[in-house]
Amino acid sequence: MSEGQNKGQLYGLGVGPGDPELMTLKALKLLEKADIVAFPTATGSKSNAKRTIEPYLTPRHELLPLIYPVTAGPVADTAAYLPLMKSFYDTSAQEIRAYLLKGKNVAIICAGDPFVFGSYMYWHVRLSCEFETIVVPGVSSILAAPVQLGMPLCHREDVVSIIPATLSEEDLVHHLKQCTSAVIMKLGRTFPKVVSALKKADLLEKAHYVERATMENQRIVPVKDVDPQDVAYFSLIVIPCETPE
């Protein structure tokens, strides 16, 4: 078969925050059509996205783990991090491309939503210009966490900020003071800095820590009660809006 004939389709599937029942019908439909199911994962750990879709996998699905060369950690703060990750996305995109050229439909699954802090977007920019592509939005933890918390995130004229905790403490304080409510992502080793910023913005008492939203081992506690040494990768902080009347 020559290149350009009978190419497979590329699917970027948002599979939600962890509860398999929160996958959309469209994502399930396209997962059924996929020949190859690709998923990003770290060495020695189980992919949360893969765990979410396991109830829907069949023997005909061929699994393709996309193993990160490095994840969050000290290396992420060095000049080597971005070139290392770019090389990973370039190489793994070529691996996916080979399947697509053979006429295989490839689904790249993504926890949460593909275009909201989702790894899928890096393969999308490398492959969607060449192959027919369908991207399916998913329920982001940004939306799931306030629901699990039982507190609305915004209403009426509220301004919501989605803030990466990797910003400097000064920038965190600035953004926290500008918004009505917020979700802070990318916790872990950044947690002590975030707590300090919340104190300076006078928001610590309003801040809630949500870990593994919608999963069986979900945990919700006030941020002030969290041990900085016990902050999971799949966690975020929610600062809800004032209670609507």
**Is 127 in contact with 36 (CB distance < 8 Å)?**
no
Neighbours of 50 (CB within 10 A): 19
Q: CATH 3.30.950.10 in the chain: give the residue spans.
A: 141-239
Max avg pLDDT among 45-49, 68-72, 74-78, 154-158? 154-158
Of 44-48, 85-89, 155-159, the least confident: 44-48
CA angle 82, 140, 53 (to 5 degrees): 90
> In this predicted structure, what is the pLDDT of residue 45?
76
Which of 33, 100, 96 is CA-nearest to residue 66?
96
- Structure confidence at residue 72 (pLDDT): 62
Mean pLDDT to the nearest integer, 129-155: 96
Query: Can you give 43-65 as a three-state secondary structure string?
Result: CCCCCHHHHHHHHHCCCCCEEEE
pLDDT in tens, 212-227: 999 999 999 999 999 9
Residue spans of alpha helices (H) in the chain: 25-33, 48-53, 81-101, 120-127, 141-149, 169-178, 191-200
CATH 3.40.1010.10 domain span(s) along the chain: 10-136
Instruction: For residue 1, name the pLDDT band (cuts at 50, 70, 90).
Output: very low
Q: What is the pLDDT of residues 174-219, one digit of tens each?
A: 999 999 999 999 998 899 999 999 999 999 999 999 999 999 999 9
- Give the pLDDT confidence of 73-118 residue by residue, as tens digits: 656 666 778 899 999 999 999 999 999 999 999 999 999 999 999 9
pLDDT at 171: 97
Q: What is the pLDDT of residue 23?
A: 97
Provide the pLDDT confidence category of residue 2 given band limits of 50, 70 and 90: very low
pTM for the structure as a whole: 0.90
55: buried, middle or exposed (CB in 10 Å: 19+, 13-18, 0-12)? exposed
pLDDT at 52: 95
Q: Which CATH code is given to the segment(s) 10-136?
A: 3.40.1010.10
Q: Report, as an integer, the average pLDDT of 11-16.
A: 97
Tokens of 111: 């926890």
Q: CA angle at residue 154 from 245 to 24, to 5 degrees?
A: 120
More confident call, 82 vs 23: 23
Cα–Cα distance between 49 and 67 in angstroms, integer? 13
Q: What percent of the chain has pLDDT over 90?
A: 84
Instruction: Report domain 141-239's class.
Output: alpha beta
Phi, psi (5° rounding) for residue 64? -130, 95
Residue 129's contacts (CB-CB under 8 Å, 6 or more residues apart) are: none
- Extract the tokens encoding 159: 């301004």
